[in-house]
Structure 1
Amino acid sequence: MVDFGRLMTAMITPFNEQDEIDWDATARLIDYLIDVQKSESLVVCGTTGESPTLSDEEKLQMFEFSVKHAAGRCKIIAGTGSNETRHSIHLTREASKLGIDGVLIVVPYYNKPNQAGIYEHFKVIAQATELPVIMYNVPGRTITSMSVTTTLKLAEISNIVGTKECASIEQVTQIVAHAPEGFQVYSGDDSSGLPALAVGAHGIISVASHVVGAEMTDMIEAYLAGRPVEAAKLNQKLFPIFKGLFESPEPLPNPSAVKYALSKRGFGNGNVRLPLLPPTDQEQQFIDQLFV
């Protein structure tokens, strides 16, 4: 059974002043996420990594660099999904040559396939690789949501090993209740992470773990060790950060807030690529006070 751990970080892509990938900052960030923030796996070039504005060449460079720099200290999951099935297969096959441990494939966005189309999309991608596949259902970004029935049907495919679920706790509950043994469900929403664990999710694919991963690990371990009150108190302490990285106080596009927070810790300059914008001065003040 493939196990990517309880806490994965959906890693940012640091940029330099020329709006190119900052490789020095990326190396230091990988070390920081593994050694300090206790990430067991890193998702590279997912949504938080600004995949919509990265070229295929940049993505493959990030995959290769991350694998080499992590050097077996954590698993590397490559974000190779898109809303074009053939392109997703191509990028998955290219990524597989670089030593990655698995791929994250998002539900197709914008073209709004029906459930049969979603099923075929994931099925043919899984058939085109021997790598473990984690599905990613995020209807807030894709509009179309993968149903429980479709998820469970896809879970029967041997190398589809899990799903990152952002639809609802109700959907997490239903998937966990009926999924085959070994199929792992991850919460894709930090603020729902502990509730998801409580209904049977395996772990969390997190944004906040960039900055409070060690504390999140403590929360997860407390819950799994049978100390739910302690876990709840840790969750309550972290909750303002979970919410504040996405709302400051108005909705702030991910990863603008977390990139700014990391820049204050010396990891990159906080730049995001258009059409995203960095936080305003007022938003920066709000983010700063989250960590006081």
Structure 2
Amino acid sequence: MHGEFPDLSADGPADRRRLFAEEARSGRPDLAMLCLLVGAEADPAVDEAALDAAQIELDRLAGLLPFGPTGPHAWACALADLLGGRCDFRGTPGDYQRLESSLLHKVLRRRRGLPILLSVVWIEVARRAGAPVYGVALPGHFVVGFGDPHEQVLVDPFAGGRLLTGPDAELMVAGATGAPLDPSMLAPADPLEVVVRILNNIRAWASTRPEQSDVALWALDLSLLVPSHPARLRYERAQLLVQRGEFATGAAELDAYADVVAAVDQGAAEAIKGKARAARAMLN
């Protein structure tokens, strides 16, 4: 059974972020819930009923799978038949240009999305049905794995569930990085890795659209709620605030980040302090 969503209308954005932080810091983070809370941040009109409806849809899809496939190959084929075939979940090049392609509740409705969001649908549907499933964070293209990671069956939900051979995965990695496939790239991705990658995608989408700086800001704010986030995210947030014209707040965050950096690199800290002074000068 999926988790219950408390009333999101009580405190608005603050309540959504509190729920996201609590889930991210829980012992076993719920991937679907985290992704749906990302969607709620993007679309404040999404309430707990809409989020529950998305979880119920994942439950419904899992109930359409045949009972008890045996072995990872059988599971992969069953999911491909249901999600890629009968339900037509897949991606198109145009999906990379749409923010809704990174929002789980929208992907469930449109049945289109980025590779990682389509993979989340596969993972959550298959997991509910008892399949040995996990995400595989190949560079540049997220896919799904079934079975023991040492003898796994890989599928590409973006291509409707096409089964991937070893050479297929090698070509994907070479195309994205120019480097050979390292076996470590085939390891199962944990839920927080998946959510961080989704948030990174959203930030990348917003970074090429200056009018969407509010999207970049909330994606950064959620990233900062994930345990063990990189300290550089605080610097990125401060810079974004300055770019948005929030000079005083951005300068204060630059100063705070400089204090952290000073412990390891005094020269870099002074440079950051200089950026803070320049930001404050914009107020004059």
> Shared fold (TM-score greater than 0.5)?
no
Q: Which has the higher strand share?
A: 1
Bigger relative CO (Cα 8 Å, ≥ 6 apart): 1
TM (norm. structure 1) is 0.28
Q: Rg larger in 1 or in 2?
A: 2
Q: TM-score, normalised by structure 2?
A: 0.28
